[in-house]
Structure 1
């Protein structure tokens, strides 16, 4: 295997991408109804490859994780800030429960098996996948007033405990969140994610990629005039509620302009566009429907506009519809309205606010007239605004450098927590403005997938060799204690979450549980199963709390041992 070691020594990036390719392939293999998934598969392959000896710069891990967690925050920012309030109490309590049970399990089992303070703290760091515990525990050990050699030994044991338990800490969290929890709840993550998404849309039908309604709300029909002879275009259009639009008229084989005063004659061909109910209501009053007429098709636009006109702010849709002039709204239909990414019902009482995104439908001429009165047209782009993205990452990583101290205990969000917080803020602000800071959905997804999978591969390549060697030297005691510290707190938290905190939705619960353990690989697998961003909001809340609460376990484990 020396040739393989030489290849990886010259180009460690080969090992990285090899683990990703093989890991994702293994992750697709079905073991009955169980699948490892790409992230867990990549982690296991990385541990195996690490036995050859691979040295990957630690900076690669930091960059990949920062990209992953920033993308998660950016995507969920609007929903996260909308969710803050009384509804977040469950997430706060869930994070507290897991941190407390994690502390008790680590301390009690370490005492029962005769492990020292260093190994106990290291097991807590690895089994709970909170690397910051290594630093806080090592700092606490240094302040115990022990002999220098003993301090050095205990601090080394922190790293040993972490290395042995970290791999299963990541893998075990995936097992609980993706396999045990759905069986315990009796429902799958995907089906509950769909149900939650539907509920969040307040009953509004939201079509997924590639989907379209079998009964669209807006239709176009062509009629040969037999019953509306002698009526003007304006009379026909305003005779229905809601109004319809005659977009095109054909007389004697020639297209003529459909001005409001134009008088219809027998056998004129008209193209009528409007809401389905209104068009069908007027059908008998127009004449006989034609199923094909050359030259009568018109290209229509569906345009998204950010509301910025103060005259529209805090007014209901019903009020706006009643007071807009007929010549202004002619040929234009409002087909949707969203706020911070959430669809609002098209009801008379729905209030429009600045920053809402209104979707209008009509011909190019008509929509151009109306959009200028609403606000700014959103220009969709497949390109990422790297100015905005780069600024967001810089702000997040700077926040991660801030350290506050409570006595001798340092509190810091770290680069991950800082990037998450920045992503939340930048994603929320982007949702309010929509005119800059674009990051297409595909770009967000590749950052999440590559960032997370790459991160766990680097962890596996870096710690896999040491973990195996330590197990050979110290037996499986440390490993088994680590397994217990990984599983027991999550099971207890799962039970409390279900029966005390009343979590009923599997997708939301899985996101909250993964975040309360700061279990990024588990969260990645939960997202993959959900196939939408529903688990992201509870994860973002509990993850931010877990970064602080679990970091505090370092000095607490040292103190209670």
Structure 2
């Protein structure tokens, strides 16, 4: 019986094995699930605690916030999608606002970035801008740039009128208009002068509205319009010639035919690689003086007779004479001649004598130097006209204007403030610098600390001076004052080497980038907690529409003036419209469309003119709105 009972139990276990296994599996799964939920909950709590710690740390250490915004914003702004990117400034603003807004809305933390940092670095930025546009600001107005001036004025004033009255019509609150001008013009510094109008008391907030909210409106108007205008202005300038029924490539070739041809790309002045020699179409060959007609001729006299070949060394027995001594040739001398390969190969022996292997005659150290053109007899002349006068032993590698490379063409006119890059021996380069009333820059320039401090001092004092007109106080503002002193300093320095010569482009570019980035980061910390209030209702749509109209209509009006009334070359006109809109990417887009560098010819004067005027208009927008 017991056996039978045990047998029944054994049979039941066998038949119900699946149920036992299922029960065991469910039990184990339930246990693991509870354990997993516990682990996941702990992980979430740890992550939340870590985020709380990070945002608390950032809030109590605002400099961490500033540098973190720049460190993330810079690479974010460089991300390119189909040839378009935000740019480092907008990237920094987006990241800074995101961090500040998150810290406030989720953790209730405010990031109090020091305003002194914003003021100092904004003034540094404005000084750097002034140093950039200064060399061409006055000379561009004084010499043959009337059409470029008109184009700049059309763009900048139509932008102001569209935004100012459009904002009134749409009922936008104070602050938005200045932000839209800044964003639609892609000139972030307008936000700086608008903010200075608030800080100085020139702008009074209406009842029921705080100054912080006005600042937030400025940032909101800028952020939306900047992104849209940055994208669409490139497309507009790039395709304006084609939209007008013009072949942009043909327009570029026509302009090059008028000016000549040239398409080399060189590093900007005083930047990494600017002094690289590269491959030059020149050579130094040694010849023995066998022809009597050369005997008794000085090195300088021979250059004027044969401008494409310069005698740099004269070997006479054990004596080696340098071209700087202007020696007179004697029969049997061995001379080192520098010139184009084909000219030396084809005409060397027939003109001078037998080519010989004499290392001493060919031992000439060649260096690359940047030379700012000072006020001299060569101002306003073409490359072709000046080459025979300054070209002894040198090769003209590149020409720059306002940080942009221009084609080195026979008919290109050089202006005061241009940077001419030459390659040649030390003595030859110094001779060119002397004739151009400038100092050759080989590796470095004088320190900028003195000029920077003096400019900020004068600009700050002048910016505080106020004049009341019709009951409204008008002041230049410290930022605009620093830009003006930068323009004047740059203007003077390019005309007198005793003032220190041109500013290093590397130093100037660094001041411009870091100054604007830190100003924008501080601005993001200030307006981040308030910016959500600026995006209520249909205001986003209004900003987007008004910003696009203000960004695109002004250059179209300038195009109509230049193309239909003045019959300007479309390639150069496209560069001028890009300069009037202060958009270097748009100018580069025009160069891509034209497959030529020629649009850069029209860029500098409108850019220099509008860079200053748009700041004044941005300030007036805040005061008069």
Q: What is the TM-score of this pair, normalised by structure 2?
A: 0.65
Secondary structure, counterpart of 2:174 in structure 1? helix
User: Cα–Cα, structure 1 residues 443 and 284, in superposed 2: closer, same or farther, change >3 Å?
Assistant: same
User: Cα–Cα, structure 1 residues 263 and 21, in superposed 2: closer, same or farther, change >3 Å?
Assistant: same
1:450: which partner in 2?
514
Separation in 1, partners of 2:613, 2:343? 53
Separation in 2, partners of 1:483, 1:314? 44
More deviation, 535-544/427-436: 535-544
**1:467 paired to 2:531:** yes
**1:83 paired to 2:83:** no
Indicate conservation of the 8 Å contact 2:399/2:407, yes or no: yes
**1:14 paired to 2:68:** no
User: Cα–Cα, structure 1 residues 289 and 489, in superposed 2: closer, same or farther, change >3 Å?
Assistant: same
Residue 426 of structure 1, CA deviation = 1.0
**1:483 paired to 2:544:** yes
Secondary structure, counterpart of 1:439 in structure 2? coil
**1:546 paired to 2:614:** yes
Residue number among 412, 435, 449 corresponding to 2:498 in the alignment:
435
User: Cα–Cα, structure 1 residues 347 and 435, in superposed 2: closer, same or farther, change >3 Å?
Assistant: farther
Separation in 1, partners of 2:374, 2:230? 44
Residue number among 480, 494, 499 corresponding to 2:560 in the alignment:
499
User: Cα–Cα, structure 1 residues 274 and 10, in superposed 2: closer, same or farther, change >3 Å?
Assistant: same
Q: 1:320-399 counterparts in 2 under 5 A?
A: 332-333=392-393, 377-378=439-440, 380=442, 381-399=444-462
**1:400 paired to 2:458:** no
Residue number among 243, 247, 259 corresponding to 2:313 in the alignment:
247
Separation in 1, partners of 2:514, 2:559? 33
CA offsets 1:451-509 (integer angstroms, 9 cap, x no match): 223322222232122112554xxx33333323333222223323322224548444432
Unaligned stretches of 5+ residues in structure 1: 111-118, 143-149, 515-522
Residue number among 413, 421, 431 corresponding to 2:476 in the alignment:
413
Indicate conservation of the 8 Å contact 2:235/2:586, yes or no: no
2:266: which partner in 1?
208
Q: Higher Cα Rg: structure 1 or 2? A: 2
User: Cα–Cα, structure 1 residues 332 and 552, in superposed 2: closer, same or farther, change >3 Å?
Assistant: closer
Separation in 2, partners of 1:551, 1:321? 46
1:168: which partner in 2?
224
1:151: which partner in 2?
207
Indicate conservation of the 8 Å contact 2:370/2:422, yes or no: yes
Separation in 1, partners of 2:431, 2:534? 72
1:234: which partner in 2?
296
User: Cα–Cα, structure 1 residues 184 and 409, in superposed 2: closer, same or farther, change >3 Å?
Assistant: farther
Indicate conservation of the 8 Å contact 1:24/1:42, yes or no: yes
User: Cα–Cα, structure 1 residues 388 and 42, in superposed 2: closer, same or farther, change >3 Å?
Assistant: same
Residue 235 of structure 1, CA deviation = 5.1
2:122: which partner in 1?
65
Indicate conservation of the 8 Å contact 2:399/2:419, yes or no: yes
Secondary structure, counterpart of 1:404 in structure 2? strand
Indicate conservation of the 8 Å contact 1:250/1:269, yes or no: yes
**1:263 paired to 2:331:** yes
Separation in 1, partners of 2:537, 2:550? 20
1:101: which partner in 2?
162
CA offsets 1:81-108 (integer angstroms, 9 cap, x no match): 1121534122223222111111221111
User: Cα–Cα, structure 1 residues 223 and 13, in superposed 2: closer, same or farther, change >3 Å?
Assistant: same
Indicate conservation of the 8 Å contact 2:84/2:231, yes or no: no
1:114: which partner in 2?
none
Indicate conservation of the 8 Å contact 2:283/2:338, yes or no: yes
CA offsets 1:20-76 (integer angstroms, 9 cap, x no match): 222222223333443223222222111211122422112222222222221122122
More deviation, 430-439/153-162: 153-162
1:283: which partner in 2?
349
Secondary structure, counterpart of 1:34 in structure 2? coil
CA offsets 1:142-174 (integer angstroms, 9 cap, x no match): 8xxxxxxx7344877645644543432443442
Separation in 1, partners of 2:302, 2:217? 78
Indicate conservation of the 8 Å contact 2:437/2:495, yes or no: no
Separation in 2, partners of 1:34, 1:309? 40
CA offsets 1:233-291 (integer angstroms, 9 cap, x no match): 4359667822753723376xx66669636331xxx75433457687443422444434x
